[in-house]
Amino acid sequence: MRIADVTTRIAKEIQIRTPLRRYFFHRYSYMFSPAQLAFLCSCLEQAVSVPGGICEVGCAQGASTVFLNRHLDWLGITRPYTAIDTFSGFTEEDVKKEVERGKAPSMFDGMFTVNSKTWYDRTMALNGLESRVRSVQADANEFDFTPLAPLAFCLIDVDLYRPVAASLQKIYPLMSPQGIIVIDDCAPNTGFDGALRAYEEFVASRGLPSELTLRKLGVIRVPNTDSTLPSGQG
- What digits encode the pLDDT tens for the residues 126-156? 999 999 999 999 999 999 999 999 999 999 9
Instruction: Tell me if residue 11 falls in helix, strand or coil.
Output: helix
Rounded to the nearest integer, the mean pLDDT of the chain is 89
- The Cα–Cα gap between 9 and 76 comes to 39
Residues 120 and 217 in one domain: yes
Q: Residue 180, SS3?
A: strand
**Same-domain check for residues 53 and 104:** yes
Enclosing domain of residue 9: 1-28
In a domain, 226, yes or no: no
Q: Do 144 and 162 reside in the same domain of the chain?
A: yes
Say whether both 17 and 75 belong to one domain. no
Of 4-18, 124-138, 165-179, 192-206, which gets the smallest average pLDDT?
4-18
> Each residue of 175-187: pLDDT tens digit?
999 999 999 999 9
Q: Strand 217-221: give its sheet, edge to edge.
A: 133-137, 81-85, 53-57, 151-156, 175-183, 217-221, 211-213
- Average of pLDDT values for 191-205? 94
Co-location of 9 and 76 in the same domain? no
Structural domain includes residue 232: no
Query: Is the CB of residue 119 less than 8 Å from the CB of residue 112?
Result: no
Between helix 161-171 and helix 92-100 the angle, nearest 10°, is: 110
Q: Is the peptide bond before 209 cis (omega within 30 degrees of 0)?
A: no
| Residue 227 within any structural domain of the chain | no
Closest CA to 155 of 67, 229, 34: 67
CATH of the domain at 36: 3.40.50.150
Phi, psi (rounded to 5 degrees) for 219: -120, 135
Q: What percent of the chain has pLDDT over 70?
A: 86
Do 100 and 9 fall into the same domain?
no
Q: Is the pLDDT of residue 5 over 50?
A: yes
Reported as a pLDDT band with limits 50, 70 and 90, residue 2 is confident
The answer to whether residue 153 sits within a structural domain is yes
pLDDT of residue 102: 87
β-strand pairing of 133-137 with 81-85: parallel
Total of domains in the chain: 2
Render pLDDT for 162-175 as a digit per residue (tens, 0 to 9). Answer: 999 999 999 999 99
Q: Which of 28-32, 92-96, 103-107, 175-179 has the highest mean pLDDT?
A: 175-179
Is position 231 within any domain? no
> Region 37-42: what's the mean pLDDT?
98
Are both 19 and 134 inside the same structural domain? no
